Amino acid sequence: MFKGSIVALVTPMTETGEIHYPSLQQLVEFHVKAGTAGLVAVGTTGESATLPIEEHIQVVKKVVEYAAGRIPVISGSGANSTDEAIELSQASAEVGADGLLSVVPYYNKPQQRGLIAHFEKVADACELPLILYNVPSRTVTDMLPETVAALSAHPRIVGLKDATGDLNRLRQMQTMLPEDFVLLSGDDATGCEFMLAGGHGVISVTANIVPDRMAKLCAAATSGQAELAREIDAGIAALHDALFIEPNPVMPKWVLYKMGLIPCPTLRLPMVEAELIHQKAIEQVMRDAGLLS
């Protein structure tokens, strides 16, 4: 279920910061038609850090409603409080999510034993399949391969989103994990090589912008068509880089706004709109990629 090109979906907003649900529905349709394999609602790219729980779950509920069973919906349900992560996970199940994406607890810097206890308690509390999410550039704490291996023994912990960009780590984990454990890249720049090395897909920021190309890239890479996969990846490599000129999701929102898919590039504070120099830089990348005339 959780393989191929899975988009880390943005949460569109009005100029005053309210969720713009018509645009959210439009984005879901955009992805269904483009061949996206799954939707992550309210992950990092969806501004999970600044959406209150009630609003967070409402967005997940609407994405489930708009997807209407055509592609799976994964709820970003992580938190640095185990109780809050459980609350988000259980509420996500109640509104119909197909799976959970649970990030390593941030700021409080838990030990590896703490990570095991945290994720096991979350998985015990909810019947949905759970994908671990390791992104040490944001969380400080790095979930080590040995910890992932220990957690893979839990029947509801089914996969990992690895955003380290370290392909050597992928190879190490492949020797430690069950064959059916899903390994997803969380780093678009290395996602192609991650899949060619045996990964199962990408939870992608770039897929917000070029979902059709990301779907084709993932299909080629996971089927071993290395030349085709690398050719597609080379065509969007500049986009992979430009989307992270400023912290995600600043640039994806700007690009989607320029493409006419969301009404404005508004973010929740403390995130603010992209600097003018970066707006111009990514607009040139968009022209080169055929996304802007």
8 bridge partner residues: 40
3, 61, 66, 133: which is the annotated catalytic residue?
Answer: 133
| Annotation: binding site | 45, 203
Q: Does 196 fall in a domain? A: yes
Q: Does 270 fall in a domain? A: no
61, 161, 216, 253: which is the annotated catalytic residue?
Answer: 161
Q: Is 65 exposed, middle or buried (0-12, 13-18, 19+ CB in 10 A)?
A: middle
Q: Does 145 fall in a domain? A: yes
User: Are the C-beta atoms of 76 and 44 separated by less than 8 Å?
Assistant: yes
Q: Does 279 fall in a domain? A: no
Residue 280 is among the residues annotated as catalytic for this protein: no
Residue 66 is among the residues annotated as catalytic for this protein: no
Query: What is the CATH classification number for the domain harbouring 136?
Result: 3.20.20.70
Domain extent for 140: 4-223
Q: Does 81 fall in a domain? A: yes
| Annotation: binding site for pyruvate | 45, 203
What is the chain's pLDDT, residue by residue, as a tens digit (293 residues)? Answer: 899 999 999 999 999 999 999 999 999 999 999 999 999 999 999 999 999 999 999 999 999 999 999 999 999 999 999 999 999 999 999 999 999 999 999 999 999 999 999 999 999 999 999 999 999 999 999 999 999 999 999 999 999 999 999 999 999 999 999 999 999 999 999 999 999 999 999 999 999 999 999 999 999 999 999 999 999 999 999 999 999 999 999 999 999 999 999 999 999 999 999 999 999 999 999 999 999 98
Tally the domains of the chain: 1
Q: Does 285 fall in a domain? A: no
pTM for the full model?
Answer: 0.98
Q: Does 243 fall in a domain? A: no
Interatomic CA distance for residues 56 and 67, integer angstroms = 17
Q: Does 252 fall in a domain? A: no
3-class secondary-structure state, position 157: strand
